[in-house]
Amino acid sequence: MKKFQASAPGKIILFGEHAVVYQRPAIAIPIHQVQATVTVEERTNDGQHGILLDAPQIKLQSMANILPLDHPMEILFRLLATAIEVETYPDVTLRIHSSIPLASGMGSGAAISVATIRALLGYLDKTLPIEQINALAYQIEKKYHGTPSGIDNTVITYEQPIFFIRGTPFLKLKSVQEFTLVIADSGIPSTTLEVVADVRKGWQEEPQVFEALFDQIGSIVLDARQIIENGPISSLGTLMNSNQSALRKLGVSSPRLDYLIDAAIFAGALGAKLSGGGRGGNIIALVEKNKADDVSLALQSAGARSTIITTETPDNPKA
């Protein structure tokens, strides 16, 4: 039986979420410990034609050709078919499995899109330039997010730490020193679409206040880039705390996220903030490597559903 499997990593936003929608810079890194994996496998003898989707985690078990026209997967199949000039898809089962927590700011939607595109391309013996895979994933992100900045699909497609400004070519970031983060899932799902819409409402009502906060976040991101590239990495902690304080003023934090952030700091983290859309989802804490386990345990005791310890190394082999 013909079969092809592909995957794509999760991601975190290290600095600059929300302000990035308003053209300020942001920094994101891929998180390889969590992955979306898509397997495309030949299917025979069931009398139905095309793609059978088998994705119980996202409650999707159906033939692709009966999905509503505005369903993100339907849009993906349609745009990909046009890009690779395929009229109909062969009879296959497309299985999606993801270890990226859903609706938690770790890019599960973008990772599923990218892994699906890669798996279908591989199965069909087709290729597309990476820029085009990224552009396709961005079209699907629009369906999930409304007005996405494009940072999620970019960091996930390129699998590199990136310095990103909406609408401009991104830069690959190389850190001068390694640094360790603890990522903790609050267990509270959050819809980025809604939080982004609330920020927009706030910005429309109080443009000066919101613009000033976006500027403040933008300058934190520029400082963070300097530190990542030149050190000392420990100074990133203070910047994370400043970024979190601005995010709180934007109204995208929550008592639960603040509680986890305080628990991380109390356990010895150098700084901590929410990551992604906010309200729920994940927080990230910068730690000295030998404190990572302590901070991780403290976050679990404070109620985090799960934690991930990840170390970003300067000698990223893909850089």
Nearer to ligand PMV, 92 or 184 (CB): 184
**98 within 8 A of 36, measured Cβ to Cβ:** yes
Cα–Cα dist 201/43, whole Å: 48
Is the CA virtual torsion 48, 51, 55, 59 positive or negative?
negative
Strands 179-185 and 271-275: unpaired
If one asks whether residue 218 binds ligand PMV (CB under 6 A), the answer comes out as no
Interface with ligand PMV: number of residues (CB under 6 A): 16
Q: Which of 92, 111, 152, 184 binds ligand PMV (CB under 6 A)?
A: 152
For helices 207-230 and 236-250, give the axis angle rounded to 10 degrees: 160
Q: What element of type H or E holds 61?
A: strand 60-63
Shortest distance, CB of residue 276 to ligand PMV, whole angstroms? Answer: 3
Q: Which of 101, 271, 276, 280 binds ligand PMV (CB under 6 A)?
A: 276
Task: Tell me whether residue 46 is one of the annotated catalytic residues.
Answer: no
Nearer to ligand PMV, 18 or 248 (CB): 18
Which residues, 6+ apart, have CB-to-CB distance to 312 below 8 Å? 29, 161, 175, 178, 179, 180, 181
Tell me which stretch binds ligand PMV (CB under 6 A): 120-128, 142-150, 169-177, 299-307.
Answer: 142-150
Tell me which stretch binds ligand PMV (CB under 6 A): 29-37, 61-69, 145-153, 284-292.
Answer: 145-153
Nearer to ligand PMV, 151 or 184 (CB): 151
Owner of token pair 């404070």:
302
Q: Which of 25, 72, 101, 105 binds ligand PMV (CB under 6 A)?
A: 105
Find the angle CA(92)-CA(117)-CA(278) to the nearest 5 degrees: 120
Tell me which stretch binds ligand PMV (CB under 6 A): 77-85, 149-157, 209-217, 266-274.
Answer: 149-157
Tell me which stretch binds ligand PMV (CB under 6 A): 144-152, 213-221, 222-230, 306-314.
Answer: 144-152
What Å distances lie between residue 234 and 176, 242, 253, 268, 293, CA to CA?
12, 14, 24, 12, 18
**Given the rule CB under 6 A, which residues bind ligand PMV?**
13, 17-18, 20-21, 105, 107, 145, 148-149, 151-152, 192, 196, 276-277
Active site residues: 152
